[in-house]
Amino acid sequence: MSAAGDRPPGTRTVFDADALGITTVLTLVFVLLAEFNVPWLLIPFGLFVLFAAPGYGAAALLFGRRALSSLAMNLALIVGLSVLINVVVGTVLLLLGISPLAAILGAGDAALCTVATAVQFRRPWEAPLERRILRLRTAFELPGFSRPQRAAAYALFAGILVTFAAIGYLSTVPSGGSPDLSLAVVGPDGTTASLPTTGGVNTTISLTVDVGNNASAQSLVLSVSSVLVGQNATSLAAVPWTMPIHLAPNVTSSEVLSLSRDAHSTVGISFQFSASGDYRLLFSLSPTGSSATLRSVALSLLIS
């Protein structure tokens, strides 16, 4: 019997120490890509780390150099363990609020593969290469099945691989990668807790409007309108956009915002009411030259 770590001529196993070492290196490359945010390379490496790397290392630790008798069972074991390990560890990291998630998860997978590489290297070799090749060929031949059954099995296996690839691709694509247009109204301190709900006649009231642009540079019209609650105004009188804006029943004021792509703009607004009443303020965004409302936020305000 060969000593631990000595490779007899013509021997190789499914859970090979050299292959485990390569797996470790590829997983470490994924960690670097995640840390430096290289999206076009993160997809293929992310698929490998998600579905192969940790399961390959864990299976090597569990079964040593003795692979399971079926290629399908080996693949199912590796993929199943990989998904299980990544989901469990990722869930724990999310619950603990530890980030960056991808880099830390990849580093943990790399550590597992490193341990598996060291352990596997010290284990003795057993089977010659010719026997492993025969087992691999036999697994693909599917003895005992008819030709149509083998064709169906191959098609099903290919479909499984495509499905896993699609799931892996979707899991590596950052959510919200394409920014959306947004509109928010907050109080003077930047939170909704300080939004004004009451005020006095001819008293200056202040708040902040946050506008987030999408991936296209554009000009948008920011408008504020005031209407008494319970009334439907068919026409609104326009007043200048000068601070404080002088609002009253059925009054509107607007300003054009020029936004670059992915831009975020914060607009401070102050206004006064010349008459008391229960008002509904409507803040809205619309394209220049159009009355179509893209985003809107309503605010109730009691003026006495």
Quick one: average pLDDT of 187-213?
88
Give the residue with greater pLDDT, 1 vs 194: 194
**Cβ neighbourhood burial of 250 (10 Å; 0-12, 13-18, 19+):** middle
* DSSP symbols for 116-165: HHHHHHHSPP-SBHHHHHHHHHHHHH-TTS-HHHHHHHHHHHHHHHHHHH
Comparing C-alpha atoms, which of 239, 301, 247 is closest to residue 270?
247
Checking if the pLDDT of 135 tops 80, the result is no
Measured CA to CA, the distance from residue 202 to residue 212 in angstroms comes to 31
Other CB atoms within 10 Å distance of the CB of residue 260: 11
- The DSSP code for 227 is E
Does the pTM surpass 0.85? The reply is no
Q: Contact at 8 Å (CB) between 69 and 93?
A: no
Tell me if the bond preceding 287 is cis, omega within 30° of 0.
no
Question: What is residue 238's predicted lDDT score, i.e. its pLDDT?
Answer: 92
pLDDT band at 10 (very low <50, low <70, confident <90, very high): very low
**How many DSSP H helices and E strands does the chain contain?**
7, 10
Question: What is residue 111's predicted lDDT score, i.e. its pLDDT?
Answer: 93
Q: Per-residue pLDDT tens for 26-85?
A: 999 998 888 887 777 888 888 888 888 998 998 888 877 666 666 777 788 888 888 888
Query: 77-81, 106-110, 174-178, 192-196 — which one is most confidently predicted on average?
Result: 106-110
Question: What is residue 3's predicted lDDT score, i.e. its pLDDT?
Answer: 47
Give the residue with greater pLDDT, 7 vs 251: 251
Quick one: average pLDDT of 263-292?
88
Checking if the pLDDT of 137 tops 50, the result is yes
Walk across the sheet containing 182-186 and list its strands. Answer: 182-186, 205-212, 264-273, 245-247
Measured CA to CA, the distance from residue 224 to residue 222 in angstroms comes to 7
Question: What is residue 80's predicted lDDT score, i.e. its pLDDT?
Answer: 85
Torsion angle of the four alpha carbons 169, 172, 175, 176, in this order, in degrees rounded to the nearest 10: -90
Comparing C-alpha atoms, which of 269, 251, 261 is closest to residue 209?
269
- Judged by DSSP in three states, 191 sits in coil
Question: What is residue 141's predicted lDDT score, i.e. its pLDDT?
Answer: 61
pLDDT band at 128 (very low <50, low <70, confident <90, very high): very low
Question: What is residue 4's predicted lDDT score, i.e. its pLDDT?
Answer: 47
Alpha helices in the chain (DSSP H): 17-36, 39-51, 53-63, 71-96, 101-122, 129-141, 147-172
**Beta bridge pairs of residue 218:** 259
Checking if the pLDDT of 129 tops 50, the result is no
Q: Contact at 8 Å (CB) between 82 and 63?
A: no
Question: What is residue 136's predicted lDDT score, i.e. its pLDDT?
Answer: 52
